[in-house]
Amino acid sequence: MNLATRALFRASSLATAARRAPIVVSPRFAAIRTYASAQRQAGGGGGGMGSTLMVVAASAGAGAIGYHYYLEGTDPANVKQAAGAAAKGVAAAVSGEKDGKKEPIDYQKVYNHIATLLEDENYDDGSYGPVFLRLAWHASGTWDPAAKNGGSHGGTMRFKSESSDSANAGLGIARERLNRTKDKFPEISYGDLWTLAGVCAIQEMGGPTVKWRSGRVDGMEENAPPEGRLPDATRSDPKHYHDVFKRMGFNDQEIVALMGAHSLGRCHKDRSKFDGPWTDSPTVVTNAFYTELLNRHWVERKWDGPKQYEDKESKSLMMLPSDMAMLQDKEFKKWIEIYAKDEQKFTEDFAKAIAKLFELGCTFKENSKVYEFKATNA
């Protein structure tokens, strides 16, 4: 993304925030709006492409059985043989097989479909991008190499034991919306779907190209991680964040780079219990999290919710105890200052760190393809 385009993004977002409009829609999504609306009108409601494909395939299978029965009479063996052949045809149609061979997934098409789901002027600041990224982050950030579970590989947040973790409150919204893509591409695993949605969100919101690999395999509920693996945003001690991230193999620079995701989205009282956005441009990938953290005067908010901070000047932005803890650590603060001064350095490091996060605990085939997706609005 060139500097001129990024400047346009930021100017538009800041202008909208200044008008205090209830919905902040990045112009990055304006190019998508017509296409996404047309998709919804053409597709209608219901179960999506996957459901339609199942009905068509099942109808074809039933027709094959009936035709074979007509030709061969009532011989049960013949009918059974026809039923078996029809069942194989249905399975092949649903799984994407052709001539007995499974068709490879076109992940650029999957990416493009996810991109059509991002914009919605009735949701938050006009985009599902931040919650898609949060889903990918939380699905990945539970990896424990000692226990050998967690991470995005098994897609285990589809089970209640993980989805009910208080840290994952509100992520059902993202999972449900992404089921539209799952319906259209039923052969993709949930781990691949959710992490690809995170990549798509970053790139479509003006962020860097993030390298991604496929191959995650859906696991069973017993593979789900226990509660407490994700960083606890209520903690004010830097050691907690050192411990959590270093368990996953991240150094101080990578930890601070990953925290830059707080440039996006907002907190909700009915989910995390916290409230408000970190920046004035919550649907654009920038280094604003670092500049705001350093340059604004933050005071503890007086309200009936959990401890959080608000900027003294406008009282419109917030920071979490976890964010303020970063300033207390010499090494963390060093990288905050670097990223506040150099947005390009931040986006480069963020792309590498988030790609690493999404692959924690994953096992890929040797020489597996590394994808770099083309943004739909590039």
Look up 278 and say whether it is catalytic. yes
CA 19 to chain centre: 29
Q: By three-state DSSP, how is residue 360 classified? A: coil
The whole-angstrom separation of Cα 278 and Cα 317 is 5
Among residues 138, 143, 212, 335, which one is catalytic? 138
User: What is the 8-class DSSP label of residue 98?
Assistant: E
Here the tokens at position 333 are 């603060």
Look up 303 and say whether it is catalytic. no
Residue type, 90: V
Residue 99 near residue 230, CB atoms below 8 Å: no
Burial class (CB in 10 A: 0-12, 13-18, 19+), 46: exposed
The whole-angstrom separation of Cα 172 and Cα 174 is 5
The whole-angstrom separation of Cα 359 and Cα 352 is 11
Q: What share of the chain is helix, strand, coil (3-state, %, to 5)?
A: 55, 5, 40
The whole-angstrom separation of Cα 317 and Cα 300 is 12
Among residues 137, 143, 194, 278, which one is catalytic? 278
Question: Which residues are annotated as catalytic?
Answer: 138, 278
